[in-house]
Structures are given as C-alpha cells and as structure tokens.
C-alpha cells in the first residue's frame, strides 16, 4: 500500500540556554492510505513538535519527511506554505475557526487561498457541510455554534482542498464524551471514504478504539505498545 505520510528518522533538538533538549529522537512513522493513526502521550512528550513537523510547520533537525512520496526536506518556506494549503488538512484544538466568517465562508476561504474558482468552492463546501450534518448552520457565525458543531466545521474545512493527510491536534479537547466520539468517528469515516490518511494527537483514551493504530510517544520515539 502507498504511504501517504512517511517520517524517516526525524530528530528535533531545541537549545534551551546552554544545554540541548532532544524532543524527537530518530522518530520514524509510516501512515498508509485509508489509515487513521492516534498518537498518545503525556504533556511535554513532544506530541506538538511531532505534529508541527508532520504538518510542515517546523523543519526537523535531522531526518527526512515525505508526503505522498514527495520529499519535503529541502523545500523553501513559500513552497511549504503551498504544500500545507494543498496537501495537508489541519484540525486544531478548540477548532480555531475565523470568528468573522460564516460556516460556508470558512470553507470557501481555503479555495480562495488556493486561487480556485469561488462558485465551484461553494458547491463543494455545501456538499461537505451536508455530509457532516451542518447544512442548517451554513450561514451561522462560529460564536453561535456548539463546540461539537465547531469541530465538525473545522473537519469540513480541513477536507476542503482534498489533502493527502489530515492532522488533528486534540480535536476532542473541548468536547464532552459523546460529542468527542462523534467527531472522531466522523474523521475516521472520512479517511476511509476518501482513501486518505489521518494522524490524531490526543489525550482522550475514550476514542482510541475508533483508530486503526494507537502509537505512544516515549522518549522522543513512537512505539506501538505501551511498555
């Protein structure tokens, strides 16, 4: 099977004053088409750093990363920006929607940024929102939505440009158990339906059964089973 995301011996070292902190230590990960992976670990274990590097927001100190077989290690910042826009979808903690855009505009913005046709984007956005059960909320602003609805809009936004992989940063952090499960189920369904890949960083033990694989962050590495 084709690897959508491949991290090859990624290391990240931060300098703190005069001593170095190794956050990621030769971490490797392969996420295949149709796969939904959860990454679990205590705070400060490097989950955010891992997600930032996977999302091309941060460059590793050592190692290479591939998205859909393409090596990103040597790309310029501008190019990375474009890759993020077209190939990576983000779902952030507490959704991070733009407060002054309606639900529909949140999605259309992604197409506008990519320089695509607005009419087409609207059709696509409406379809996505419909599938995620948000068609009655299309013209609402984020402040009038519930937490679960906001997170669903964020998921719809992440899928807008048909990215190869979707990265979710604690998508259930601000939701109750039931809503959290719903949102993760939705993520999982979309990954399967589209033949894409997703990585979710989470604290939430209750939703792990919905994922294909659960990896644990330990000493800067990812391990399959908790020791």
Partner 1 sequence: MFLALRELRHAKLRYALISLIMILIAWLVLFVTGLANGLSSDNAASIQYSSVDYLLLSKDGDQKITRSSLSGQSLNDIGKFVQKDDAAPVSIQMSTVENENKKIDVAFFAIDATSFLKPQLVEGKMFSNDRSNEVVVDRSIKEEGLLLGDKIKDELSGKTFTIVGFSKNQTFSHSPVVHMNVKTWSHLGRPYSKETMNAIALKTDKDTADKIERSYSEIEAVEKKQALKGIPGYQEEQGSLLMMIIFLFIIAAFVLAVFFYVITIQKMNQFGVLKAIGAKTGYLAKNILYQVFLLSSVSLLISNGLTYGVSFMLPASLPFVLSPLLALGCSLLFLGVALLGSVLSLYQVAKIDAIEAIGRAA
- Specify whether the CB–CB gap between 91 and 168 falls below 8 A: yes
Residue 160 corresponds to which tokens in the numbers above?
């807008």
Among 62, 75, 141, 194, contact with partner 1 (rule: CB under 8 A):
141
| Residue 18 DSSP class | T
Cβ contacts of residue 4 below 8 Å, gap of 6+?
31, 32, 33, 35, 67, 68, 164, 165, 196, 197
**Taking the complex as a whole, how short is the minimal distance between the CB of residue 124 and partner 1, in angstroms?**
16
216 contributes a contact to partner 1 by CB under 8 A: no
Query: For residue 188, how many other CB atoms are within 10 A of its CB?
Result: 17
**Taking the complex as a whole, how short is the minimal distance between the CB of residue 157 and partner 1, in angstroms?**
7
Binding mask 26-65 for partner 1 (x = CB under 8 A): ---------------------xx--xx--x-xx-------
Q: Which residue has the tokens 């990954």?
A: 191
| Range 7-36 burial, b when 16+ CB lie within 10 A, else e | bbebbbeeeeeeeeeebbbebebebebbbb
Residue number, 11 or 52, with CB nearest to partner 1:
52
Residue number, 86 or 194, with CB nearest to partner 1:
86
Among 3, 85, 210, 214, contact with partner 1 (rule: CB under 8 A):
85
- Specify whether the CB–CB gap between 200 and 37 falls below 8 A: yes
Among 22, 81, 126, 188, contact with partner 1 (rule: CB under 8 A):
81
d(CA 212, CA 197): 11
Binding mask 150-169 for partner 1 (x = CB under 8 A): -------x-----------x
**Taking the complex as a whole, how short is the minimal distance between the CB of residue 83 and partner 1, in angstroms?**
8
13 contributes a contact to partner 1 by CB under 8 A: no
| Helix 118-131 vs helix 103-113: crossing angle, to nearest 10 | 130
68 contributes a contact to partner 1 by CB under 8 A: no
Residues that bind partner 1 (CB under 8 A): 47-48, 51-52, 55, 57-58, 78, 81-82, 84-86, 90, 92-96, 98-101, 105, 108-110, 112-114, 141, 157, 169, 173-174
């Amino acid at each position: 099977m084709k690897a959508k995301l491949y991290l090859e011996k990624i290391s990240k070292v931060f300098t703190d004053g005069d001593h170095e902190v190794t956050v990621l230590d030769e971490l490797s990960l392969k996420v295949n088409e149709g796969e939904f992976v959860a990454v679990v670990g205590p705070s400060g274990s490097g989950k955010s750093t891992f997600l930032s590097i996977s999302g091309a927001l941060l460059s590793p100190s050592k190692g290479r990363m591939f998205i859909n077989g393409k090596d990103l290690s040597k790309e310029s910042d501008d190019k990375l920006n474009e890759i993020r826009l077209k190939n990576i979808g983000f779902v952030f903690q507490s959704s991070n929607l733009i407060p002054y855009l309606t639900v529909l505009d949140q999605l259309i913005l992604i197409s506008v940024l990519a320089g695509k046709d607005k009419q087409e984007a609207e059709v696509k956005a409406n379809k996505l929102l419909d599938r995620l059960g948000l068609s009655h909320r299309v013209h609402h602003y984020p402040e009038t939505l519930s937490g679960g609805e906001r997170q669903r809009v964020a998921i719809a936004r992440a899928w807008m440009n048909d990215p190869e992989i979707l990265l979710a940063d604690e998508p259930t952090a601000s939701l109750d158990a039931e809503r959290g499960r719903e949102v993760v189920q939705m993520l999982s369904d979309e990954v399967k339906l589209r033949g894409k890949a997703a990585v979710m960083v989470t604290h939430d033990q209750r939703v792990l059964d919905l994922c294909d694989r659960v990896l644990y962050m330990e000493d800067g590495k990812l391990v399959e089973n908790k020791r």
